[in-house]
Every structure is written in structure tokens, then in C-alpha cells.
Amino acid sequence: MKITDVKVFRTSTPVHKTAGTNWLFVRIDTDAGISGWGEGSLQYKDVALEAEILDFGKFLEGKDPFRIDWIWTSLYRRVTWSGGAVTMSAISAIDLALWDIKAKAHEMPVWELAGGKHRDEVKVYANGWFEGLTEPIPGVPAETVSRQASPELHAKAALELKNDGWKALKFYPFGGPQVTTPEQIDHGIELVQAVREAVGNDMDIGIDIRARLDVWSAGRVAKRLEPFDIAWMEEPVLYDNVEAMAEFARSVNVPIATGEQLYNRWEFRPLLATNSIRLIQPDICHCGGFSEIRKIAHMAETHYVAVAPHNSNGPISTLASLHLDMSIPNAFLQEIFVSFIDRYREVLTNPIIIEDGSATVPDGPGWGADLDTETLAKYPATDFTQIESEPYLDF
């Protein structure tokens, strides 16, 4: 079997935070008539990502798609200026497509090709459930200030999630700037308290700071979060400084999670070596695909660290992450954006199964589903202005 073509498909997402982002998929075709799907969605950088994938495609043409690890190593080692978000996302998309091809050729699901199941389903946590849960600030003209998040509306929406069967959720109650204020902390705590009181103690709550705070401010927030028994505090500070993240994790009494912006096993190695992080969140679309995230997960296992794959991406990312969760011993939770689920169902040939707070993959070889390219074409990619199109303004 030989690779004959590499095609890229870009499509807009449902509106999220601002004007939405784009998803980017790759389809690798072979002379055996088997095609594999991968994803490398890289918010606001998908034009650069497409160019990198197509450039790699010239190397891939004529290669044996079963040589997954050799291809991965070639794309990573046999180039100048390797690594980083764009290159690693391109490698991720290609790697995912190759696993899909090989599993389809052997008429088995990817989790089987990877060594078999550790579980039949994985607990999922809801993200993207809080869109529009704001209200006017009393006494302040609406045209002069942004609306503030409403504790009452957050409590109502969180309870609706629980009633729909979800057993875990995540949200972002603390905004920037990095040096926060007592007022910002108080408002964030009001949101957390409202959600916890609404859902009770039997629902996991993750609090994502998204690296908005400095160490001093994040420490104050962590102290105030202790009574609410949160499952994890995510990206409390910027991810660049492993020593600072580790020292922070040791200084607080809430579990710290990080890793969505680390790109391979070499970047995770020093983080795990600190033995301070309780949960890592590699992103299968950015950290090197199915091949690399498995290596990262196995390395985390030696440090007794759980894995909850980051996933703010499209349906192939979600499917691939679930196949990973099925096939590793230390999977904890899987992130899914509830605001994307309807679009997932629309573009996939087989739906992802989410019931009673857990998810599993559809039956079938490979990922268990392909993408409908005609449906993708209904949602043309959106153009972005770097920085100005980003939803996170305060850092």
C-alpha cells in the first residue's frame, strides 16, 4: 500500500466565545482505496497549518502508510526548525490519518490496534455550556462596559447539565489581567459557589484559569477555592516556566492540571519530573497525534499522573481522544464541548455516543466514522485577524 494524495479540508466551527474558529482536517488517500482522516485544528493559525501539511504531503506521496513511527520521526527529526505549534499540529493530523488507515486495513478499531481496551467508556466533562450566561451590571450603561457573568444563570445552566446526565463540567470564572483584584476574585468565587450549590457534591468541577493570572494572584484564588472541592485548577499561570508551575502546584491545596500547550514527550518530561502536577492535558491535535500522546500518557503513568486529553477541537480530535482513553490505564476524563455536539453529529458518518455522563466510540474500523465532505463544504472557513480575533484580551 502506498500514499497517493494528501488533502486538507478547512471548515468554520459553531460560534464560540467570539466569532468561532476553524477546524482543519486532513485526508490521506492510498492506492488500496483506503483513506484515513486526521485533524490538526489550530485556532486562528489554520492557514499556516494547511501550508505545513501540504508541504509534508510532498514527502508522504509514495510512502507506506503502515510505517507510522518512521514517518513521525522523519517529519520531526529530518527537518530544520522542527517543533512548535504549527509543525506539531501538522504531524498530529498526519499521524491520526495514518492510524485510521492502518486500523481500517486490518478491519479493527484504533483502540484494538493500540493494544485493546482498558475500559468500554470514559467519563466526559462539559465545556462550552456557559455561552451567553451574562447580565447587565446594575447602574452601568451597557454601551460602556462588558456584561458580567451571572451566578444565577450559571447555576441554572449547570443544573440543566446535571439533569441531562453529565457528571463533570469545567468553566472559566476568573478573568484577567494577571494581577487580579479582590473584586474579580470575589465575583469568580460567587460563580463557583453558585455552580457547586446547584449541582451538589457528586459532580466534578474543573476551574480553568487559562493562564490569566500571576503566581501571587493565582495563589489567592486557589485558597478561596478550597471549600468547593474542585477536581482541578487548570493552567493557573502561564505554561512556559515549568519550575514556576511546579512550585505553585506544591504551594496550594487544590490539584493542578496543565499541558494543553506542550507539544511532545520532550516538553512533558521536565514537567512530569517535578512530581507536582496531578493531571496532564495533552491535546491530540497538537502534541504529535495518537502516536505521541500514547507515549506521553505512558510516561505520565510512571509518575502516577492521570491524563485528561484537552479537546477544544473538532470531531476527529474527539474520536481519536476517546480511542486513546479506551486504550490507556490512566485516563481520567475526556473534554467535550457541548456547543459542538450537534455539528459533530452533522459531519460524522457515525455519531459519537454520549450517555449518562460517559462517552464511547462508534462501532467500526479505524476511528469508527468518517467525515462527510459535502456537509463540511456547507460551512466555509472563516478569515481571522491574528490577535484581534482571539477571545482572550487580558494577559
pLDDT digits (tens, 9 = 90+) for 293-342: 999 999 999 999 999 999 999 999 999 999 999 999 999 999 999 999 99
Of the residues 79, 108, 137, the one at which a domain ends: 108
- Residue 144 reports pLDDT greater than 60: no
- Does the residue 296 lie in any domain? yes
Domain containing 9: what range?
3-108
CATH number at residue 47: 3.30.390.10
Higher pLDDT, 18 or 85: 85
Is residue 51 located within the same domain as residue 150?
Answer: no
Question: pLDDT class for 140, splitting at 50, 70, 90?
Answer: very low
Of the residues 64, 80, 108, the one at which a domain ends: 108
Is residue 156 located within the same domain as residue 198?
Answer: yes
- Does the residue 390 lie in any domain? no
Is residue 204 located within the same domain as residue 300?
Answer: yes
- Does the residue 372 lie in any domain? no
Is residue 13 located within the same domain as residue 135?
Answer: no
pLDDT value at position 135? 66
Of the residues 108, 129, 158, the one at which a domain ends: 108
Q: How many domains does the chain have?
A: 2
- Residue 53 reports pLDDT greater than 50: yes
Is residue 172 located within the same domain as residue 273?
Answer: yes
Query: ω into residue 351 within 30 of 0, thus cis?
Result: no
- Residue 124 reports pLDDT greater than 50: yes
Question: pLDDT class for 112, splitting at 50, 70, 90?
Answer: very high
Check: pTM over 0.85? Answer yes or no: yes
Is residue 207 located within the same domain as residue 62?
Answer: no
CATH number at residue 250: 3.20.20.120
Share of the chain above pLDDT 70, in %: 94
Is residue 133 located within the same domain as residue 64?
Answer: no
Residue 149: φ, ψ to 5° = -65, 140
- Residue 143 reports pLDDT greater than 90: no
Is residue 310 located within the same domain as residue 340?
Answer: yes
pLDDT digits 0-9 by tens, 257-267: 999 999 999 99
H-helix or E-strand containing 125?
A: strand 122-127
Is residue 223 located within the same domain as residue 304?
Answer: yes
Share of the chain above pLDDT 90, in %: 87
Is residue 94 located within the same domain as residue 134?
Answer: no
Average pLDDT over residues 243-270: 97
pLDDT value at position 141? 44
pLDDT digits 0-9 by tens, 151-187: 999 999 999 999 999 999 999 999 767 888 999 999 9
- Does the residue 82 lie in any domain? yes
- Does the residue 351 lie in any domain? yes
Grid look-up 457573568 returns 149
Is residue 72 located within the same domain as residue 147?
Answer: no
- Does the residue 376 lie in any domain? no
CA distances from 139 to 61, 134, 148, 225, 293 (A): 63, 15, 13, 29, 50
Is residue 79 located within the same domain as residue 225?
Answer: no
pLDDT value at position 212? 87
